[in-house]
Structure 1
Amino acid sequence: MNDWTQRSLLFLALIAGIHASSFPASAPGQQAATKPIKPKVVCFGDSITKRGYGEILANILDVEAINAGVGGNSTAKALRRLSKDVLAHKPDVVVIFFGTNDLRADADHVYVPVLKYKANLETMIDQCQHQGARVVLCTLPPIEHAAFFTRHQRGPFDAAGGLSKLIQTYRDAARQVASEKKVTLVDLNTLLAQQPEWLSNDGVHPSKEGNTIIAKHIAKAVAPMVANPAPESTGAESTGAESTDLESTGADSPR
Structure 2
Amino acid sequence: MQTILKFRYFLVFLLLISCGGDSGAKKESQSTKDTDTENTVTSSTNKTILFFGDSLTAGFGLEVDEAFPALIQSKLDSLQLSYTVINSGLSGETTAGGRNRLNWVLNQKVDVFVLELGANDGLRGIPLQETRNNLQAIIDQVWQKSPETVIVLAGMQLPPNMGQDYTSEFRTIFPELAEKNEIPLIPFLLKDVGGIPELNQEDGIHPTVEGQKIVANNVWEVLGPIVSK
TM-score normalised by L of structure 1: 0.71
Structure label with greater radius of gyration = 2
Matches within 5 A, 1:136-175: 136-141=152-157, 143=159, 145=161, 157=162, 162=163, 164-175=164-175
5+ unaligned residues in a row in structure 2: which ranges? 60-66, 78-82
In 1, the alpha carbon distance for the partners of 2:104 and 2:41 equals 29
Range that drifts further, 182-191 or 53-62: 182-191
In 1, the alpha carbon distance for the partners of 2:203 and 2:192 equals 16
Higher relative contact order structure (alpha carbons within 8 Å, sequence separation ≥ 6): 1
In 2, the alpha carbon distance for the partners of 1:178 and 1:69 equals 21
Contact 1:61 1:219 in 2 (8 A): no
Find the counterpart in structure 2 of residue 225 from structure 1: 226
Range that drifts further, 206-215 or 176-185: 206-215
In the TM superposition, what whole-angstrom CA distance separates every residue of 1:47-67 from its partner, at most 9, and x where no partner exists?
Answer: 111112211111112242222
The answer as to 2:20 corresponding to 1:16 is yes
In 2, the alpha carbon distance for the partners of 1:34 and 1:48 equals 33
The answer as to 2:73 corresponding to 1:58 is yes
After TM superposition, give the deviation of residue 215 of structure 1 in Å.
Answer: 0.9
The answer as to 2:144 corresponding to 1:99 is no
Residue identity in the other structure for 1:67? N
In the TM superposition, what whole-angstrom CA distance separates every residue of 1:14-58 from its partner, at most 9, and x where no partner exists?
Answer: 332454355422435434246354332111111111112211111
Residue identity in the other structure for 1:59? S
In 1, the alpha carbon distance for the partners of 2:11 and 2:189 equals 84
Find the counterpart in structure 1 of residue 97 from structure 2: 77
Contact 2:49 2:112 in 1 (8 A): yes
Q: Which runs of 4+ in 1 moved over 6 A?
A: none
In 2, the alpha carbon distance for the partners of 1:59 and 1:53 equals 10
SS in 1 for 2:203: coil
SS in 1 for 2:223: helix
Find the counterpart in structure 2 of residue 113 from structure 1: 127
Range that drifts further, 38-47 or 193-202: 193-202
Contact 2:112 2:149 in 1 (8 A): yes
Find the counterpart in structure 1 of residue 64 from structure 2: none
SS in 2 for 1:206: coil
In the TM superposition, what whole-angstrom CA distance separates every residue of 1:180-228 from its partner, at most 9, and x where no partner exists?
Answer: 0001111116833699354334232212211111111112212222233
Specify whether residues 144 and 214 from structure 1 end up closer, same or farther in structure 2 by C-alpha distance, changes over 3 A only: farther
In 2, the alpha carbon distance for the partners of 1:223 and 1:195 equals 26
TM-score normalised by L of structure 2: 0.78
SS in 2 for 1:67: strand
Residue from 145, 151, 157 that aligns with 1:135: 151
Residue identity in the other structure for 2:46? K
In 2, the alpha carbon distance for the partners of 1:189 and 1:55 equals 16
Residue identity in the other structure for 1:112? I
